[in-house]
């Protein structure tokens, strides 16, 4: 029987749940600007971490490998999840729904859920609406009910484990048990694409065709051939992490309940001696693992034979949440999560993930799990080495996100990189992964017995889950301070830095099991920070911050710090955080603004640090240091007296005199949109295996290489996360508009016109394709749910760009162009770019012979013609700037770059901001095009649902332009310190001790290094 919760303590209170959700939902980030998470139109994809398969003896000659385990999700037609504010029996939930829908809907029914939790109270119901025309009204009526929290679409999750089948086939394993990813059928076959057509040839969700291991033209489906197999680890992974040391001490995970959410576990498998529960949450009437993936994961965690797991005596709770057809549903996960709470699970491994951080029911259930002391471990993703590719839920603050390293303890190429992208466009991402560990060639249990090897972060995740189970089993024998925060604190404080990787690649470093055991056994409840200090001079760890000095007048630098609260599930920040500049270390040259979570729940929150150079330091060159003090209060489980901790965050930055205007570039982040929430397609139409644009379009994610090139050329790049009305154009040489999908406020268009014509600002635009017929042709079709998804924009929002460029007589066309050409002795690849339709007569146009890719997509045939693609224009005003327009941004975007055009960007910037008045391509013949038809906005698009410009309730009306943000600078409280409190080993790769200790005397100039958590216990 479910334990009834009556008070808000360390365990989640059912009565307090709505209040906590309301607080936390608004507290992810200081600059959150996410679209509504409960929009039924959102294209969602919760995707899995990836793997590489190997045979038992390692790589087999001639075999095809796959670096990715494939997942695709889509909204299920006519089914909706109704989430309630509490837990109720089924008859009560149905009564609430009936009362809410009396006025406006008929024919609905509550779908029965036949699974082990069906007789227990639940916080959601699955509702079927047969009349789609009534859905909008019905949803509003349901959400108006006082006991209904929200209504969201049901989602179907399809997984392809093709790498398992191929690896086993090559090694004589259980290939027959794993179905192929496509059965060769045509339209309507689950998981398959239609024969060679632009409509469905790989255009499904991001994961279904992402870097798969097949190249099967006969099935009409095109996949990348995977990378070569990574070298297998020559030893057991348990030996590499010295698990035998803890085994010899009698610690084997006994008494620890470990949940594995996967494909099930083979019955009576010889490797497992303590399987306490096997449950099936699918619509198949079996508990068996028909694929072998769940068996492998369970083996890494708890195998007691051959390929040993870390915690062989742990109690295994097997949750079969995927069918043999590799399908799951959101509702299955929610029911299974509820059951895990009921069973008082200690550790939960989730080797899946995806780019969708707006799947609100899933996210809230993860919060509830961790609030109930479930330590969740999840794979960070296998989309490396590209940045901005973190998977959810591993990117959540209360989850341990795991990246991968190879057998040489080097960062695995496949491991996804940070930063988190929840906070974009106005803010900046957090540090993830939390830690990294072995994920290449790890050996685990095979389906029919024996061992096999796989690679990927979905392999690294159960390595950490097994370690956590072992640590919890050992620690629980000595004290009870084990919770999701304390375990994460112990793992990150004991980790070993990788010497040549930054914090968005490795998090806090490589897992060290023995040191983590010491930390957790000696643990005293406290609060800590991640990262534990801010040193913007330390490279490479603090990349990208360390690559560009600060200076007066720049857009403030944002560092989002995670607060970990090991004292209790719920806490708060007492009073205001304070900024202490060091007088002897130029600390007064730095201004600091601080915002934080209104509540720390569950176990965590954020501290947003905005840094700016004081006006008195506009000519200063040197370092500035100080520290931030923040006080955390929390009530531990079973205690009535709050614990209070002072946490110190050392800060050090490098300051230079303000660079010349011609060196300063402004990157427009405000007008970049990406998945989630809507269907924003990739810019390169040839990349049919990767249709979604989801990397954030930030200079430190998929434009990272471009950023590095610009810095090498001497430019300073600042990021604008606000409308154009919020920056001083006189301070910048050029504004960069690259791959913009958002609309523009009328005030922005007017202001930019004045900035260029009167303030001398130059405008550099790199656009992409936009063609309505092409958008209709590449619409997303999910064969499972029989639904079409139309792109909300093209590669770029060309109609909006034309509105912006219109005052100068410049317009981009609806052409979609593709091809290779030479320019200034460089070979250039043009990938699904657009052409220039209109341009001032006294400007320069460069035309090239390119294929009409749009005609190929729409009609199947392509012609080649000379089309203008590059335009350069000197505005007539003597004080005016210059305008550069290029029709393709793919050569700047690392996501699918075939040939970079950084050299071209450098040439164009020199012309725009500092070069002579003559055009850089004077030898190129001027070309005057006929005026092609300009692209119009696609009818019926849902851009207004995700736009920060369009009125959501009354499209295509424009919202009132938001006011410009004004930071409140913290009142400095100077200290006469002569030494920084940065950890003395910050450059050596080993993190310092995190045990609480007293700080040096703040009045004396004393110094010394605090531990990286810088925690100071107090009683109150």
Locate tokens 């989630």: which residue?
676
Rounded to whole angstroms, how far apart are CA atoms 64 and 228? 8
Query: Hey, CA dihedral for 12, 18, 23, 29, is it positive or negative?
Result: positive
- 106 classed as catalytic: no
Give how far Cα 452 sits from Cα of 52, 276, 441, 671, Å.
Answer: 11, 24, 9, 47
The model's pTM is: 0.83
SS (H, E, C) 66-122: CCCCEEEEEEEEEEEEEEEEEEECHHHHHHHHHHHCCCCCCCCEECCCCCCCCCCCE
- 293 classed as catalytic: yes
Which tokens belong to 214? 């097949």
pLDDT for res 165: 30
Which tokens belong to 892? 């700047």
- Count, in order, helices (H) and strands (E) of the chain: 19, 37
Instruction: End-to-end CA distance of the chain: give it in Å, rounded.
Output: 38
- Those residues with Cβ within 8 angstroms of residue 652's Cβ, 6 or more apart along the chain or in another chain: 534, 535, 536, 537, 623, 624, 625, 980, 982
Angle between helices 135-143 and 90-100 (to 10 degrees): 120
- Those residues with Cβ within 8 angstroms of residue 310's Cβ, 6 or more apart along the chain or in another chain: 238, 241, 243, 253, 300, 301, 302, 463, 466, 467, 469, 470
What radius of gyration, in Å, describes the C-alpha atoms of the chain?
28
φ/ψ of residue 341, rounded to 5: -65, -45
Which tokens belong to 738? 């690259």
Rounded to whole angstroms, how far apart are CA atoms 424 and 433? 18
Enter the DSSP assignment of 1019: E
- From the list 351, 445, 458, 889, the catalytic residue is 458
Rounded to whole angstroms, how far apart are CA atoms 896 and 297? 32
- 262 classed as catalytic: yes
- From the list 271, 293, 596, 627, the catalytic residue is 293
Angle between helices 513-521 and 457-475 (to 10 degrees): 40
Contact between 684 and 896 under an 8 Å Cβ cutoff? The reply is yes
Rounded to whole angstroms, how far apart are CA atoms 9 and 320? 31
**How does DSSP assign 929-960, residue by residue?**
---PPPP-PPTT--GGGT-SSB-SSSTTPBPP
Rounded to whole angstroms, how far apart are CA atoms 965 and 33? 13
Contact between 951 and 683 under an 8 Å Cβ cutoff? The reply is no
**Bridge partners of residue 125, in order along the sequence:** 82
Contact between 697 and 738 under an 8 Å Cβ cutoff? The reply is yes
Rounded to whole angstroms, how far apart are CA atoms 866 and 887? 14
Helices (DSSP H) in 648-738: which residue ranges? 704-712
- From the list 56, 123, 262, 398, the catalytic residue is 262
Rounded to whole angstroms, how far apart are CA atoms 340 and 117? 10
Of the candidates 945, 389, 422, 890, the residue with the CA atom closest to the CA atom of residue 682: 890
Query: In a 3-state reduction of DSSP, which class is residue 264?
Result: coil
pLDDT for res 346: 97
Contact between 904 and 891 under an 8 Å Cβ cutoff? The reply is yes
Number of residues that this document lists for the chain: 1020
Locate tokens 């709050």: which residue?
642
Contact between 381 and 413 under an 8 Å Cβ cutoff? The reply is no
pLDDT for res 932: 66
**How does DSSP assign 620-637, residue by residue?**
--EEEEEEEEEEEEE--T
Q: What is the mean pLDDT of each run of 10 residues along the chain (1020 residues)?
A: 32 38 44 34 28 33 36 72 92 91 82 88 89 76 92 73 32 32 32 34 30 27 27 68 96 96 92 96 92 94 96 97 84 94 96 71 93 96 90 92 94 93 84 96 92 92 98 80 96 97 97 97 95 97 97 97 96 96 97 96 96 97 98 84 94 98 97 73 69 73 95 97 97 96 96 97 96 82 53 88 97 94 94 93 92 86 88 92 96 90 96 82 62 81 86 89 96 91 55 36 31 38
Rounded to whole angstroms, how far apart are CA atoms 180 and 192? 10
Continuous segment of H or E residues that includes residue 166: helix 162-171
Continuous segment of H or E residues that includes residue 562: strand 557-565
CA 944 distance to own-chain centroid: 23
Contact between 798 and 812 under an 8 Å Cβ cutoff? The reply is yes
What is the bridge-based pairing of β-strands 534-535 and 643-655? parallel
Which tokens belong to 636? 């531990």
């Amino acid at each position: 029987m479910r334990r009834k919760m009556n008070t808000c303590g360390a365990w989640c209170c059912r009565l307090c749940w709505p209040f906590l959700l309301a607080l936390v939902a608004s507290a992810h980030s200081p600059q959150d600007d996410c679209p509504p998470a409960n929009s039924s139109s959102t294209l969602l994809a919760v995707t899995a971490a990836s793997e590489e398969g190997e045979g038992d003896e390692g790589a087999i000659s001639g075999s095809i490998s796959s670096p990715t385990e494939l997942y695709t999700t889509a909204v299920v037609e006519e089914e909706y999840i109704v989430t309630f504010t509490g837990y109720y029996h089924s008859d009560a939930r149905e009564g609430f729904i009936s009362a809410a829908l009396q006025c406006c809907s008929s024919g609905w029914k509550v779908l029965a859920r036949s699974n082990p939790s069906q007789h227990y109270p639940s916080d959601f119901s699955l509702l079927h609406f047969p009349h789609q025309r009534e859905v909008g009204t019905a949803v509003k009526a349901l959400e108006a009910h006082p006991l209904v929290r929200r209504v969201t679409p049901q989602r179907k999750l399809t997984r392809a484990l093709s790498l398992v089948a191929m690896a086993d086939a090559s090694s004589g394993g259980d290939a027959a048990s794993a179905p192929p990813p496509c059965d060769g059928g045509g339209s309507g076959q689950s998981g398959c694409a239609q024969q060679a057509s632009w409509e469905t040839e790989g255009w499904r969700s991001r994961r279904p065709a992402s870097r798969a291991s097949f190249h099967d033209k006969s099935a009409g489906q095109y996949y990348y051939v995977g990378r070569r197999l990574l070298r297998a680890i020559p030893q057991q992974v348990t030996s590499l992490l010295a698990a035998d040391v803890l085994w010899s001490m009698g610690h084997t995970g006994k008494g620890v309940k470990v949940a594995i959410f996967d494909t099930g576990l083979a019955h009576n498998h010889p490797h497992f001696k303590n399987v306490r529960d096997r449950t099936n949450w699918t619509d198949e009437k079996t508990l068996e693992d028909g694929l072998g993936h769940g068996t492998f994961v369970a083996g890494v965690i708890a195998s007691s034979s051959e390929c040993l797991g870390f915690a062989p005596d742990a109690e295994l709770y097997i949750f079969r949440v995927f069918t043999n057809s590799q399908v799951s549903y959101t509702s299955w996960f929610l029911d299974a999560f509820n059951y895990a709470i009921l069973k008082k699970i200690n550790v939960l491994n989730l080797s899946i993930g995806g780019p969708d951080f707006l799947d609100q029911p899933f996210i809230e259930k993860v919060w509830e799990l961790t609030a109930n002391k479930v330590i969740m471990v999840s794979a960070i993703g296998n989309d490396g080495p590209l940045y901005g590719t973190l998977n959810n839920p591993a990117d959540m603050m209360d989850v341990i996100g795991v990246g991968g390293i190879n057998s040489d303890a080097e960062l695995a190429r496949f491991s996804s990189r940070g930063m988190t992208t929840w906070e974009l466009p106005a803010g900046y991402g957090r540090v993830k992964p939390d830690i990294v560990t072995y994920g290449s060639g790890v050996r685990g249990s095979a389906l029919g017995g024996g061992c096999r090897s796989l690679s990927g972060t979905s392999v690294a995740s159960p390595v950490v889950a097994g370690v956590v189970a072992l640590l919890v089993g050992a620690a629980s024998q000595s004290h009870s301070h084990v919770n999701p925060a304390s375990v994460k604190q112990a793992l990150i404080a004991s980790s070993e830095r990788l010497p040549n990787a930054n914090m968005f690649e490795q998090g806090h470093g490589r897992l060290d099991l023995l040191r983590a055991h010491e930390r957790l056994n000696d643990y005293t409840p406290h609060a800590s920070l991640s990262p534990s200090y801010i040193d913007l001079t330390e490279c490479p760890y603090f990349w990208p911050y360390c690559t560009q000095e600060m200076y007066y007048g720049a857009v403030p630098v944002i560092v989002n710090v995670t607060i970990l609260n090991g004292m209790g599930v719920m806490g708060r920040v007492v009073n205001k955080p304070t900024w202490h500049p060091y007088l002897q270390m130029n600390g007064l040259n730095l201004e600091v603004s601080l915002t934080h979570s209104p509540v720390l729940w569950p176990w965590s929150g954020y501290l947003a640090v905005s840094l700016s150079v004081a006006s008195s330091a506009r000519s200063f060159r040197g370092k500035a240091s100080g520290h931030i003090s923040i006080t955390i209060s929390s009530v531990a489980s079973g205690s009535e007296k709050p614990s209070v901790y002072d946490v110190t965050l050392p800060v050090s930055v490098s300051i230079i005199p303000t660079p010349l205007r011609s060196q300063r570039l402004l990157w427009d982040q405000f007008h970049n949109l990406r998945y989630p929430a809507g269907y924003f397609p990739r810019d390169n139409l040839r990349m049919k295996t990767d249709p979604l644009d989801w990397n954030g379009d930030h200079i430190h994610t998929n434009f990272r290489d471009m950023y590095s090139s610009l810095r090498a050329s001497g430019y300073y790049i600042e990021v604008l996360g606000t409308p154009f009305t919020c920056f001083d154009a006189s301070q910048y040489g050029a504004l960069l508009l690259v791959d913009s999908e958002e609309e523009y406020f009328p005030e922005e268009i007017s202001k930019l016109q004045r900035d260029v014509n009167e303030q001398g600002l130059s405008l550099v635009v790199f656009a992409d394709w936009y063609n309505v017929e092409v958008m209709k042709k590449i619409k997303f079709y999910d064969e499972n749910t029989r639904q079409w998804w139309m792109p909300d924009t093209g590669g770029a929002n060309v109609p909006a760009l034309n509105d912006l460029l219109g005052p100068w007589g410049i317009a981009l066309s609806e052409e979609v162009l593709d091809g290779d050409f030479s320019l200034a002795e460089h070979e250039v690849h043009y990938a699904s770019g657009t052409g220039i339709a209109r341009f001032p007569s006294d400007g320069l146009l460069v035309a090239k012979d390119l294929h009409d890719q749009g005609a190929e997509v729409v009609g199947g045939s392509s012609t080649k013609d000379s089309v203008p693609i590059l335009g350069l224009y000197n505005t007539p005003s003597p004080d005016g700037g210059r305008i550069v327009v290029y029709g393709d941004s793919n050569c700047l975007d690392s996501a699918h770059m075939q040939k970079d055009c950084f050299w071209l960007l450098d040439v164009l910037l020199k012309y725009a901001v500092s070069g002579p008045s003559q055009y850089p391509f004077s030898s190129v013949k001027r070309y005057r095009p006929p005026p092609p038809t300009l692209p119009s906005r696609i009818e019926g698009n849902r851009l207004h649902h995700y736009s920060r410009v369009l009125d959501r309730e009354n499209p295509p009306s424009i919202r009132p332009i938001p006011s410009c943000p004004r930071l409140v600078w913290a009142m400095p409280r100077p200290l006469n310190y002569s030494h920084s409190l940065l950890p003395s080993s910050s450059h050596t790769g080993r993190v310092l001790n995190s045990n609480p200790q007293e700080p040096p005397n703040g009045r004396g100039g004393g110094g010394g290094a605090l531990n990286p958590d810088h925690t100071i216990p107090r009683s109150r």
